[in-house]
Amino acid sequence: MRTILAAAERVLSVNPAATMEQIAEAAGVARTTVHRRFTSRDALVDALHAWAAQQFHEAVADAHPDSAPPLVALYQATANVLRVKIGWGFAMSSAPSDDPEVARVHADVLAQCDRLFRRAREAGVLRPDTDLEWARRVYYALIHEAAQRRSDEADDVDELATLVVDTLLRGVGGPGRTLSP
C-alpha cells in the first residue's frame, strides 16, 4: 500500500488530475491492484491525506516537543515537518480530508505546537510578551514558504529549518529597529 501511496504522491504532485491507471503505472502495479486497495480515486486521495497526516504527526512527536529543550525541539520539529511537507507536498497542500482521524491528528499537532511555544516563552527563547497564537501562525507561514522554496532553490532541509527558526526568533530587521509607541 505504501508503494501505491508514494506513487500517488509523485504523480499527483505533477498532475493533480492523474487517473488511477497513471498512478498504478507509476507504482509498478496493475490498475486492478490499486482498485482492490482503494475503491475510488477519492478513497486513494483520502488515504494519501491520512498517510501524510500520520507522517506529519510523527515528525512533530519525534522532535520531543514536550521534553527536549525548547530551542532544540523547535529546530528539530521544523526540520522534520519540512521533510514531510516537501516529500508529501500534494497530500499536505491539497484540500483537507473530511476524515475525523486526520482532523484529530492535526488538532494534536496544534496542541503540541502550542505547548512547545509556551515552553519556549517560559525558557526565554521567545520574549515574555509574545502573542503565542500569532507566533504560531507566523511559524506555520514560514514553514509553508520554506517548503515552497525548496523546489525553486537548492537549499537542503537543515538550511531551510535554520532559516525558518532564525527568521521566527530574530526577524529580518536590523539590530535596534523597533517601532516605539
| Domains detected in the chain | 1-39 (1.10.10), 49-170 (1.10.357)
Mean pLDDT, all residues of the chain? 89
Q: How confident is the model over 69-117, as pLDDT tens digits?
A: 999 999 999 999 999 998 888 888 775 667 788 889 889 999 999 999 9
pLDDT score for 37: 93
pLDDT score for 137: 95
Distances (CA, A) of 40 to 33, 95, 176: 12, 17, 57
Q: How confident is the model over 41-59, as pLDDT tens digits?
A: 989 998 898 898 899 999 9
How far is residue 74's CA from residue 89's CA, in Å, rounded to a whole number? 21
Q: How confident is the model at residue 154 (pLDDT cuts 50, 70, 90)?
A: very low
